[in-house]
Structure 1
């Protein structure tokens, strides 16, 4: 047995995920993770956990049930990485002093299994009492090498947010100096309320709900720098952002949405980036502020899929090709996916679950850009198993059964959106 394989087995048997420290990559000197010895990289995505709901709507019981969902799914679907894709906490209900305790609860199922994780932050993670930068610091403090959540874009908090960064994924072979095989991009779509700020009337200050231009500029610069290091070798990638882009709403309300070709629950009207409303919170419209981000995504060579949450009752995927009434109209055939509500905090009675993503290293080496994905439900069943490839959107799949979770006994339900 090769020494490389022996060391790998020793770490994986101990529950550790193979990782590389800064400077170990053969031609890309950044810390990262790597494909497993089985040639796969698997991600479990937990969406909208919504810890910290008030007690009068069952918050403490909801948090315990959410931990139960996470434990069940992690036992059935052990991943190489967990993505906490926004709205970890319903922060408008949480005192500043309690934020760290909620982060500790959320990551404990991951720490106990030695599973790395990476977070994006959502609109409910930003409030007058919660700073996502404090949350990221807590993740690092309690997670150490398991916590990959970072802030790579400097800027004013209300503009750029926090969770803008990437994680390199290296090849399974190559010993201590493997080649860069894939990138995972993470973006902060913000929203919510400004930290410790009020307006002259004493009201909370809203934060814009889209990926900022400064973040887009950083994304474009990083892509160019990576491309210069890998000439004639585009690096496949996946992206994660809590609030979906407007293209998903256009597709949902267009003529091509089909439960046979885009299987999944479709029970929520999509709330996308770049929404403006009048002073009463009515008469809302798309302000097109996410257009630069959409254009940059569409121009990203070998970006295979973008995964979002936010809308608790949606878990389908679409191929972003030509969409009229959207900017840009051509999404370069990127796949856009939702993952249904994982947490028991927040609204919904749909059965909880988490999106599973598997990328096969052999397919990337062969030039195929294929992602296998499904929803693992809390009852152990699989929903909406699809393959995101060139023919997705034409391939036909069995219908997805709509199921519901039992309500929290005697406590009602949270209302966060």
Structure 2
């Protein structure tokens, strides 16, 4: 006769196996949902909003064993890459973004013994959130055990990643991670099949490969040609709408190394702080002019200079830093790590439904007790853009 404890153990084991079996079904269901979600295009929410969380310069190393840099003495004990991961989790919970964008130096190659392990750990919060995400490379990502191309290829294949190695059908283009994403209007609206917000991602390089030019890399002519052609195609597609849009859908650009034009700003004409020099390329490749000529990009977002978090407008385009995010990245003791959020909102029409993008706003959150919101500002609005066009037409 079986002993009572043996019966209980048997029942417990059966229950555990059933739980594992049902758990497996649940995991498979979640995976199926994730695949379905990834197949769907980016789209504005039913509330007419699309929110992007920018994470700049994680500098992820080997996790718990990788110490923090430039924090207060009372913060140093136990501070590691895990603080960076915790900050991402907090930001996701607080903002509930529709897209997360990582703008380079995602891992700090010199302190990452295994690039794959570091990439998995660095992006783990995004993966577990089931939120679509995209990434570009910085100047440190390739310094571990994978080449620059290898790093980008791995990122492209990760769960929920919308990143691309390079544009499909483009045979010759510099760098790895040049692509665009389209954000369609609200499901069921007249613009649900149109991209009402265009996102451009570019590889700004790592270091100059020209012997006579020192310093960091830059966005090359081949990339600019792709951007021009893509922007033109998207403008034509948008303005061919039966409702007859007269202007292009707004665009946002994301890359790592700031443009030389960022040096045009001082405290009188930007929002935020500038606490270090502009570490752009030592040559100006003209990409800012290319964006101005295209006419659709309203803001460009970068990282690289961790102690700068300002946003300034030049010729109708805001150039914005995110501020340092990662705890293994250099920073400033007592100056909180931070992240930038961008919110695009559609216009609500009188007869119901949603129309074009009405405004694009941004703010930052600090990694403090309250995730304090700072420096909220409007980057672009349809009303102000219309007023500028009228002034230009009127010759004023």
TM-score interval, normalised by the smaller of the two chains: 0.7 to 0.9
Q: Output aligned runs, 1:205-284, within 5 Å.
A: 209-231=217-239, 232-252=246-266, 257-258=267-268, 262-272=270-280, 274-275=281-282
| 1:319-356 C-alpha deviation (Å, 9 max, x unpaired) | 112xxxxxxxxxxx111111111100121122011101
Over aligned residues, Cα RMSD in angstroms? Answer: 3.3
Structure 1 SS opposite 2:205: coil
Structure 1 SS opposite 2:258: coil
Cα distance in 1 between the residues matched to 2:289 and 2:107: 30
Are residues 1:312 and 2:306 paired? yes
Cα offset for 1:312? 0.5
Determine the structure 2 residue equivalent to 1:343: 326
Determine the structure 2 residue equivalent to 1:80: 98
Determine the structure 1 residue equivalent to 2:288: 294
Q: Output aligned runs, 1:11-160, within 5 Å.
A: 21=39, 32-52=41-61, 58=68, 61-95=79-113, 98-127=114-143, 129-143=145-159, 146-153=160-167, 160=174
Unaligned runs of 5+ in 2: 1-28, 70-77, 240-245, 386-396
Cα offset for 1:148? 0.8
Normalized per residue, the structure richer in helix is 2
Structure with greater Cα Rg: 2
| 1:42-64 C-alpha deviation (Å, 9 max, x unpaired) | 00100100011796855894211
Are residues 1:374 and 2:363 paired? yes
Cα offset for 1:19? 5.2
Structure 1 SS opposite 2:271: coil
Structure 1 SS opposite 2:88: helix
| 1:346-382 C-alpha deviation (Å, 9 max, x unpaired) | 2112201110110002279766663111111111111
Structure 2 SS opposite 1:123: coil
Contact 1:53 1:346 in 2 (8 A): no
Contact 1:306 1:335 in 2 (8 A): yes
Are residues 1:361 and 2:346 paired? yes
Structure 2 SS opposite 1:228: helix
Cα distance in 2 between the residues matched to 1:130 and 1:383: 37
Cα distance in 1 between the residues matched to 2:206 and 2:374: 30
Structure 1 SS opposite 2:254: strand
Cα offset for 1:388? 1.5
| 1:11-31 C-alpha deviation (Å, 9 max, x unpaired) | 99x99799574xxxxxxxxx6
Unaligned runs of 5+ in 1: 1-10, 22-30, 200-205, 276-286, 322-332, 393-417
Cα offset for 1:66? 0.7
Cα distance in 2 between the residues matched to 1:121 and 1:73: 21
Are residues 1:165 and 2:179 paired? yes
Cα offset for 1:135? 2.0
Contact 2:66 2:81 in 1 (8 A): no
Structure 2 SS opposite 1:136: helix
Cα distance in 2 between the residues matched to 1:41 and 1:56: 34
| 1:275-297 C-alpha deviation (Å, 9 max, x unpaired) | 2xxxxxxxxxxx22x22x12211
Cα distance in 1 between the residues matched to 2:57 and 2:288: 23
Count of aligned pairs between the two proteins: 326
Q: TM-score, normalised by structure 1?
A: 0.70
Structure 2 CA distance for partners of 1:16 and 1:129, relative to 1, 3 Å: closer
Structure 1 SS opposite 2:134: strand
Cα distance in 1 between the residues matched to 2:377 and 2:192: 33
Structure 1 SS opposite 2:107: coil
Cα distance in 1 between the residues matched to 2:36 and 2:196: 14
Cα offset for 1:140? 3.3
More deviation, 75-84/262-271: 262-271
Determine the structure 2 residue equivalent to 1:389: 380
Structure 1 SS opposite 2:53: strand
